[in-house]
Amino acid sequence: MFTVDSYPVAVLLCVVTMLCWGSWANTQKMASKNWGFPLFYWDYTLGIILLSLVFGLTIGSVGEDGQAFFPNLLQASARVIFLALLGGLIFNIANLLLVAAIDIAGMAIAFPIGIGIALVAGVIVNYVAVPVGNATLLFIGVGLVTGAIIVDALAYKRISTGSSTKKGIISSVSAGILMGFFYRFVAASMSPDYANIEKGFLTPYTAVFVFAIGIFLSNFLFNTFFMYKPVSGAKVSYKDYFKKGTPRLHIIGMFGGIIWAIGMLLNMIAAGKAGFAISYGLGQGATMVAAIWGVFIWKEFKDAPKGTNSLIWLMFLLFAAGLSLIIIAKTV
């Protein structure tokens, strides 16, 4: 299977993760006018499963390192499978809350608050479990990201009124807290050594596939709830998925899932060299990418009062400085 032996290459893969995780939500924005987000989310989930299976059967099954996709899956222990499935379940409720927050408040708000919190929690949890990198630089970087979250919340307050402010922040914060923990369970299901897979453990490719199955299965509980008890908009049904869904809408949703899954898989591959805390922290720099989309493409702050732009640029500066420190934490 394909593995990474170079830290610069691992960082590059994390940058691609950042771009993927920060960009997939554009597909929701493209479909949201005619398609409720719970319906979009079914296709998004299928896209994650499809991409993880294709990668597992191709680059996850060639070469001398590691173990091929199906042999690895068949030898995995029940405990390890459970950990990857649990990671999918936790991610799913977190991501549904994040998608709801995007629907309510927009990308420039939901991502910096939700994913910013996830970055802080995820780096701490994964560093405690597997301490790789300079702790001082790593946590100063996390502190700067925390500052960026606070600044973004202040910017949001300037453009929001009424119940949407409270709903958007609550949904984003809840998503962020849960999102900070899913990664650890998936990481714990994988062999510490990618080149020589320990008995009973998964490769990054099989772990992401089992994780995707966990998302899909838990969808029947969590997404069904959002379908019939939406946080915004009208309720939808399974009948609507088949009756109102056009080929274009289904493709957009699946494409969103494929984009996210590429980021997840590359991030897990990179973690073998960079360490889980650094790999996850860099990947969640997606916050800045999403904010760029929200500010400059979707114009979510176009009617903001004077002075808001200064807060937005301060947010970007803090995020960039924080992520830079997270990158060099492994080299010092």
Per-residue confidence band for 230, with pLDDT thresholds at 50, 70 and 90: confident
74-119 pLDDT per residue, tens: 999 999 999 999 999 999 999 889 878 877 777 667 777 888 889 8
Instruction: Say what the pLDDT of residue 202 is.
Output: 98
Instruction: Say what the pLDDT of residue 67 is.
Output: 96
202-224 pLDDT per residue, tens: 999 999 999 999 999 999 999 99
Host domain of residue 93? 7-328
Domain assignment of residue 116, yes or no: yes
Task: Dump the DSSP string for 23-53.
Answer: HTHHHHHHHTTTS-HHHHHHHHHHHHHHHHH
* Residue range 178-202: mean pLDDT, rounded: 96
* Residue range 148-161: mean pLDDT, rounded: 77
H helix count then E strand count, the chain:
15, 0
Instruction: Say what the pLDDT of residue 196 is.
Output: 95
Domain assignment of residue 40, yes or no: yes
Q: pLDDT averaged over the chain?
A: 90
Domain assignment of residue 240, yes or no: yes
**Lowest-confidence pick of 1-10, 203-212, 271-280, 292-301:** 292-301
Burial of residue 274 (CB within 10 Å: 0-12, 13-18, 19+) is buried
**Lowest-confidence pick of 24-28, 31-35, 244-248, 328-332:** 31-35
Does residue 150 surpass a pLDDT of 90?
A: no
Domain assignment of residue 309, yes or no: yes
**Are the C-beta atoms of residues 100 and 155 closer than 8 Å to each other?**
no
**Are the C-beta atoms of residues 256 and 27 closer than 8 Å to each other?**
yes
Does residue 180 surpass a pLDDT of 80?
A: yes
Does residue 163 surpass a pLDDT of 60?
A: no
Domain assignment of residue 1, yes or no: no
Alpha helices in 130-203 (DSSP H): 135-159, 163-188
Number of domain units in the chain: 1
Q: What secondary structure, in 3-state letters, does 191-252 show?
A: CCCCCCCCCCCECHHHHHHHHHHHHHHHHHHHHHHHHHCCCCCCCCCHHHHHHHCCHHHHHH
17-63 pLDDT per residue, tens: 999 998 998 998 888 777 888 999 999 999 999 999 999 999 999 99
Per-residue confidence band for 165, with pLDDT thresholds at 50, 70 and 90: low
User: pLDDT above 90 covers what percent of the chain?
Assistant: 63
Domain assignment of residue 66, yes or no: yes
Domain assignment of residue 90, yes or no: yes
Domain assignment of residue 2, yes or no: no
User: pLDDT above 70 covers what percent of the chain?
Assistant: 96
Does residue 162 surpass a pLDDT of 60?
A: no
